């Protein structure tokens, strides 16, 4: 078996950025790609680097002043040998730096040029500043999240930055690589967090189209409106998640909770939801979270603990699956998904910022004297 992962041999250049771009390259690096991150030449206040960051693992890291002609040439030499470039700047930035798609694909026609922005490369908002909360708001992904009568709740930055952004960029890059295998040509992948976040709401739109998502925020089946799909507080101030949608799972849940089915009749009738919820909430407040999850173990009640991130790493199921790994004594999510023949293995720990500059330049054919001169001129770290 090849323990390097299914993307072993794939060369990726990452232009350092925030959240979605490094997440996309982390996904690629976890699966075996050789990623070189290109950061600024001079260290300083840098939100892109901190110790034990999963978004910095499993890649080499160089520092280059891309605004200097000699720095641009270094990046272009990297791109000449690369399969993929990933960047997350506003539209037009890499073009102004002289490393835009036309230049890079002109030198390396097989290059897949992955771009991730909030609004996309074009459109009226393309040059406007924003963050995850703005993108998912415009995509229609934020408004439905929250309780009845309350304001929308930001779902961390999981939908825009990571799910609709970085993960879909990685998927787009891989799709372009599959197409390249037949055409022999690279292309630009334009990933927008608005586009991707909207795509993640496809299931909600499907339910809306058939009339099953026709109420306001927090009043539908999958948004906490239904009593059989919600979280409940337990006697110790912690929470359990209940997802007993199907009738037989609902039956198992009532057995675990020792509730008479007649006491919660009409569970599919939204008019009955408040009364059913009140009954479930009262019963679930009588025991601790762990007592309830122990009682539900081995059943199909769809009742599980709501774990903190720290607790999740210790859960027996996650331990058995290797869902989390420990790097330098710090836990973080493991590569996913799993592969039967080419497993990804444990990712390499993050390198010190810009610490691979000399080694990478030597591999590109620069001499020690060239490197000393570039460093003296402030072109490289």
Known catalytic membership, residue 161: yes
pLDDT surpassing 90 at residue 45: no
pLDDT surpassing 70 at residue 238: yes
Options 3.20.20.80, 3.40.50.720, 3.40.50.10540, 3.90.960.10; CATH for 11-200+324-376 is 3.40.50.10540
Q: What's the mean pLDDT in 291-298? A: 98
Mean pLDDT of the chain: 95
> pLDDT (tens digit, 9 = 90+) per residue, 122-161?
999 999 999 999 999 999 999 999 999 999 999 999 999 9
pLDDT surpassing 70 at residue 85: yes
> pLDDT (tens digit, 9 = 90+) per residue, 257-268?
999 999 999 999
User: pLDDT over 70 for what percent of the chain?
Assistant: 98
What is the 3 state secondary structure string of the chain? CCCCCCCCCCEEEEECCCCHHHHHHHHHHHCCCEEEEEECCCCCCCCCCCCCCHHHCCEEEEEECCCCHHHHHHHHHHHHCCCEEEECCCCCHHHHHCCCHHHHHHHCCCCEEEEEECCCCCCCCCCCCCCHHHHHHHHCCCCCCCCCCCCCCCCCCHHHHHHHHHHHHHHHHHHHHHHHHHHCCCEEEEEEHHHHHHHHCHHHHHHHHCCCCCCCCCCCCCCCCCCCEEEEECCCCCEEEEECCCHHHHHHHHHHHCCCHHHHCCCCCHHHHHHHHHHHHHHHCCCCHHHHHHHHCCCCCCEEECCCHHHHHHCHHHHHHCCEEEECCEEEECCCCCCCCCCCCCCCCCCCCCCCHHHHHHHCCCCHHHHHHHHHCCCEC
> pLDDT (tens digit, 9 = 90+) per residue, 304-326?
999 999 999 999 999 999 999 99
pLDDT surpassing 90 at residue 50: no
> pLDDT (tens digit, 9 = 90+) per residue, 150-178?
999 999 999 999 999 999 999 999 999 99
Q: Looking at residue 2, what is its pLDDT?
A: 42
Q: Looking at residue 48, what is its pLDDT?
A: 59
Q: What's the mean pLDDT in 33-62? A: 84
As its CATH architecture, domain 229-314 has 2-Layer Sandwich (3.30)
Q: Which of 52, 53, 73, 131 is catalytic?
A: 131
pLDDT surpassing 50 at residue 1: no
Q: Which of 161, 190, 195, 230 is catalytic?
A: 161
Q: How far apart are CA 303 and CA 297, in angstroms?
A: 9
Domain map of the chain by residue range?
11-200+324-376, 229-314
Q: What's the mean pLDDT in 24-41? A: 96
Q: What is the pTM of this model?
A: 0.94
């Amino acid at each position: 078996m090849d323990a390097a992962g299914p993307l072993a041999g794939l060369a990726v250049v990452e232009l350092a950025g925030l959240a979605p771009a490094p997440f996309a390259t982390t996904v690629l690096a976890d699966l075996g790609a050789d990623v070189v991150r290109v950061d600024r030449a001079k260290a300083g206040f840098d939100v892109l680097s901190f110790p034990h960051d999963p978004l910095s693992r499993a890649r080499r890291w160089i520092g280059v002043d891309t605004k200097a002609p000699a720095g641009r040439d270094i990046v272009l030499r990297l791109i000449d040998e690369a399969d993929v470039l990933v960047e997350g700047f506003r539209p037009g930035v890499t073009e102004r730096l002289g490393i835009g798609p036309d230049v890079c694909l002109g030198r390396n026609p097989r290059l897949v040029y992955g771009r991730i922005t909030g609004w996309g490369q074009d459109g009226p908002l393309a040059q406007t500043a924003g963050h995850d909360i703005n993108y998912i708001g415009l995509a229609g992904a934020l408004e439905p999240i929250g309780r009845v009568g309350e304001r929308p709740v930001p779902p961390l930055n999981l939908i825009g930055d990571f799910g609709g952004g970085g993960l879909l960029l990685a998927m787009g890059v891989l799709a372009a690589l599959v197409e390249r295998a037949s055409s022999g040509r690279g292309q630009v992948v334009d990933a927008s967090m608005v586009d991707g976040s909207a795509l993640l709401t496809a299931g909600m739109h499907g339910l809306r189209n058939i009339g099953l998502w026709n109420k306001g925020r927090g009043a539908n089946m999958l948004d906490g409106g239904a009593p059989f799909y919600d979280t409940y507080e337990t006697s110790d101030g912690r929470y359990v998640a209940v997802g007993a949608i199907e009738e037989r799972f609902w039956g198992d849940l009532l057995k675990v909770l020792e509730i008479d089915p007649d006491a919660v009749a009409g569970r599919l009738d939204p008019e009955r939801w408040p009364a059913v919820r009140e009954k479930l909430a009262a019963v679930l407040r009588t025991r601790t979270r762990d007592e309830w999850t122990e009682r539900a173990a081995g059943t199909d009640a769809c009742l599980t603990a709501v774990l903190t991130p720290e607790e999740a790493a210790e859960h027996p199921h996650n331990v058995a699956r290797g869902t989390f790994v420990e790097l330098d004594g710090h836990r973080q999510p493991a590569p996913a998904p799993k592969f039967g023949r080419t497993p990804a293995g444990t990712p390499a720990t993050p390198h010190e910022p810009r610490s691979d500059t000399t080694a990478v330049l030597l591999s590109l054919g620069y001499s020690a004297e060239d490197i000393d001169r570039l460093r003296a001129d402030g072109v490289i770290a």
